[in-house]
Amino acid sequence: MDISPQRSEDVPDGEQVMASLDALSAVPRLQGPLGRVIGWVDRLFVLLANLALVGIAVTVLLQISGRLFLPFTLSWTEELSRYLFIYMVALAAGVAIRRHRHVNVELFHHRLGLRTRAAYQALICLLVGGFALMALPAAWQFAQNGAWQTSPTLRVPMLYIFFSTVLLFGLVLFYSAVGLVEGLAAAWRPPVDGDREEASWK
């Protein structure tokens, strides 16, 4: 399993700036074929989340235009924008874990060495993934309750709307597992020439 860190010249400037602000970004990611597959999955869900965001913007603009220029109200636009927002959050939740973009308080992260950061990431991913694993069966049961309901205006089976909870916890579990593997692999990786162990606890 290749977890060699990316060279700084291979990382875009924007990502280097974000990495400097986030201590856990120093933990090497999976490389090789598996790393490329996970990267493609990342881009897929980012694309889908962006499409949902664009859909929200279009729907809201249509709603505003309808109120201004049409003699009737498009009642379904508010409902559709709400469902698109729910799916946007569900689709982006896992990638946010992967990129360390969730809200967090960094009190001591920058004082940890690289191995300790990796172990800390593994611990956090284990806890988050464990919670997602426990919540996933309840989310599936909740989604099944929507099989007998339809949305008020769009008449869409609520099963598809409630399924967003299954998608959310499933992606959180998947990306937590990836982060756990990366953290453990980086914590146990033997030191290589050129590795720079950052400052440890003083």
- Domain locations in the chain as residue ranges: 8-188
pLDDT range class, residue 41, cuts 50, 70, 90: very high
Predicted local distance difference test score (pLDDT) of residue 13? 56
Predicted local distance difference test score (pLDDT) of residue 143? 94
Predicted local distance difference test score (pLDDT) of residue 131? 97
User: 């875009």: which residue's tokens?
Assistant: 12
Look at the pTM and tell me if it is higher than 0.85. no
Asked if residue 8 has pLDDT above 70, the reply is no
When the pLDDT of each residue in the chain is averaged and rounded to a whole number, the result is 82
Q: Which residues pair with 82 in a beta bridge?
A: none
Between 149 and 70, the higher pLDDT residue: 149
pLDDT range class, residue 195, cuts 50, 70, 90: very low
Q: What value does the CA radius of gyration of the chain take, rounded to a whole number of Å?
A: 21
Between 11 and 177, the higher pLDDT residue: 177
Between 164 and 16, the higher pLDDT residue: 164
* Out of 75-84, 123-132, 160-169, 193-202, least confident range: 193-202
CB 137 within 8 A of CB 65: no
CA 115 to chain CA mean position, Å: 23
Between 192 and 134, the higher pLDDT residue: 134
CB 8 within 8 A of CB 28: no
CB 42 within 8 A of CB 36: no
Between 160 and 24, the higher pLDDT residue: 160
